[in-house]
Amino acid sequence: MNILILGSGGREHSLAWAIKQNPKCDNIFVAPGNAGIAQIAKCISVDILNATQIVNTVKEYNIDFVLIGPEAPLAEGVSDILKREGILTFGPSKASSQLETSKKFTKEICDACGAPTAEYKSFDSLEPALTYIKTKRAPLVVKADGLAAGKGVIIATDIEMALSAVNEIFSGSFGNAGASVVIEEFMEGEEASLFVLVDGETILPIGTAQDHKRVGDGDTGLNTGGMGAYSPAPILNEIVLNKTIERIIRPTMREMVRRGMPFTGVLYAGLMIKDSDPRLVEYNVRFGDPECQVLMMRLGGQILDALLSTAKGKLSDVKINWADDHSLTVVMASNGYPGSYEKGTEIAGLADLPSNSNFMCFHAGTVERNGKVVANGGRVLNITTRAATLIEAQKNSYEMIENIDWPGGFYRKDIGWRAL
């Protein structure tokens, strides 16, 4: 079959790489892709927020299956339009994507279904929010309701900081995403993520992971999209995983059905775990980046069957074959990220890297210029390995990085520290 993946990150490179290992896959197209993806798939220039362009691409290349990587097209309803055109599509509806696109919506769902999460209140205007904050004690977490590219969450360590955060959100600096705020209790514990496929009804766990959101070693500095990840997350053992499914995921999915917006796709639950009890931090309605890279490294080609069955509503037929393995990825980013950074810096040494089922360099922000790979974004490469133990995977990733010659980039030296 012919498969079209929408997106251009390390997530989409790893999806294309895994799917390509499945004999059902004849051709992979990625829109718009990047320099690494171009080595294994045909990259096409399409605006992934423009459903008409995507439908035309599907016709032109005889695409049988479309896989939507990032949240932006889901928020635009691209999945609904493709499905209405009769195109087999992996990705939730615009309505059910509210689990990611509106924090207030998710909190209301948790209230309705009893899923454990931080206590909260939401506000649509400034004054009541300020009054509420003055009755609370720090730390507090202030969140812009909508999609804010990871910048909409402020952990306020004192009341002044919480007040200025709501002022900023309502002043319009987050655009529409800041039309409402959620103010919630700060939860203590250890964070981990669970990924499940859902076809409206059946829930299939496909892996756990831990991300490293801060830019600096020891979890210091600014928040980023993620500087590295590993899978599995030891804290999400079988007991905690089962509690997460039964207390959080299943009630949420039932509530979505009850509201007439069943969820189909991959649900990414960000959890805070304390004393073996999970609470929901947030949902995303797509694969995490870089968490996807470690999941794909472990799952390989079988992911295509699982994604297809999800899209067809036949997930109950699918079984995942687990190996007792570990995967770890280290993100290399342009100097200056997550602030401003230079584009166009040359990356050498990539051609000699190993590339097999245990070692992969997934590309994110790269392009090819005059036969050379240059950086074209903040997060640029994902050095991903798989081994029998996490410590071995960590050693292999860092050894692999030694061969990359890129003065314009940097990476964290401690990915995996929490588990090790």
**Site residues, ligand GLY (CB under 6 A):** 211, 225-226, 284, 288-289, 291
Residue 284: name its binding partner from ligand AMP, ligand GLY, none (Cβ under 5 to 8 Å by kind). Answer: ligand GLY
Contact 213, 291 (CB under 8 A): no
Residue type for position 255: E
Please tell me whether residue 216 binds ligand AMP under the rule CB under 6 A: no
Q: Does 187 bind ligand AMP (CB under 6 A)?
A: yes
Smallest distance, Å, CB 136 to ligand AMP?
13
Q: Which two tokens stand for residue 150?
A: 């990871």
Nearer to ligand AMP, 1 or 161 (CB): 161
Interface residue with ligand AMP among 80, 145, 184, 291 (CB under 6 A) is 184
Residue closer to ligand GLY, measured from CB, 288 or 365: 288
* Count of residues that interact with ligand AMP, criterion CB under 6 A: 12
In whole angstroms, how close is the CB of 380 to ligand AMP at the nearest point?
22
Q: How many CA atoms lie within 13 A of 173 on its CB side?
A: 10
Q: How far is CA 282 from CA 106, 225, 255, 278, in A?
A: 8, 15, 16, 12
71: partner contacted, choices ligand GLY, ligand AMP, none (Cβ within 5-8 A by kind): none
Phi and psi dihedrals of 413, rounded to 5? -95, 0
Closer by beta carbon to ligand GLY, 170 or else 195: 195
Cβ at position 174, least distance to ligand AMP in Å: 13
Instruction: Return the one option of ligand GLY, ligand AMP, none that residue 100 interacts with (CB less than 5 to 8 A, by type).
Output: none
Cβ 337 to ligand GLY shortest distance, Å: 14
Report the distance separating Cα 260 and Cα 355, nearest Å.
45
**DSSP alpha helix (H) spans, 8-119:** 10-20, 51-60, 71-75, 78-84, 98-101, 103-113
From the list 20, 14, 35, 79, the residue with the least C-alpha distance to 380 is 35
Q: In whole angstroms, what is the distance from residue 224 CA to residue 151 CA?
A: 9
CB atoms within 10 A of CB 148: 18
Nearest approach in angstroms of CB 418 to ligand AMP is 13
Helices first, then strands: H and E counts in the chain: 13, 23
Query: In terms of CB distance, is 184 or 291 closer to ligand GLY?
Result: 291
Q: Using DSSP, state whether 96 is helix, strand or coil.
A: coil
Supply the minimum distance, in Å, between the C-beta of residue 211 and ligand AMP. 8
Q: 141 is in the binding site of which of ligand GLY, ligand AMP, none (Cβ under 5 to 8 A by kind)?
A: ligand AMP
Q: What does the buried/exposed string (b/e) look like for 363-391 if buried means 16 or more CB atoms within 10 Å of the residue's CB?
A: bbbbbeeeeebbbbbbbbbbbbbbbeebe
The answer to whether the beta carbons of residues 338 and 224 sit under 8 Å apart is yes
Provide, rounded to whole angstroms, the least separation between the CB of residue 215 and ligand GLY. 13
Considering only residues 100-129, where is the footprint of ligand AMP by CB under 6 A? Answer: 118
Q: Of the two residues 214 and 250, which places its CB atom closer to ligand AMP in the complex?
A: 214
- Binding to ligand AMP by residue 12, rule CB under 6 A? no
Which residue type sits at 85?
A: E
Q: Which is nearer to ligand AMP, 153 or 391 (CB)?
A: 153
Scanning 31-39, 62-70, 181-189, 253-261 for contacts with ligand AMP by CB under 6 A, the matching segment is 181-189
What is the nearest approach in angstroms of ligand AMP to the Cβ of residue 116? 12
215 binds ligand AMP (CB under 6 A): no
Give the type of residue at 148: A
Nearer to ligand GLY, 73 or 225 (CB): 225
What are the strands, taking DSSP E only, across 91-189? Answer: 120-123, 140-144, 153-156, 181-185
Terminal C-alpha separation, the chain: 41
Please state the closest distance from residue 309 (CB atom) to ligand AMP, in A. Answer: 28
* Bridge partners (DSSP) listed for residue 383: 330, 361
As measured in angstroms, the least distance from the Cβ of 309 to ligand GLY is: 24
Q: Which does 184 bind (CB under 5 to 8 A by kind): ligand AMP, ligand GLY, none?
A: ligand AMP
Where does this chain bind ligand AMP (CB under 6 A)?
118, 141, 153, 184-187, 191, 213, 270, 281-282
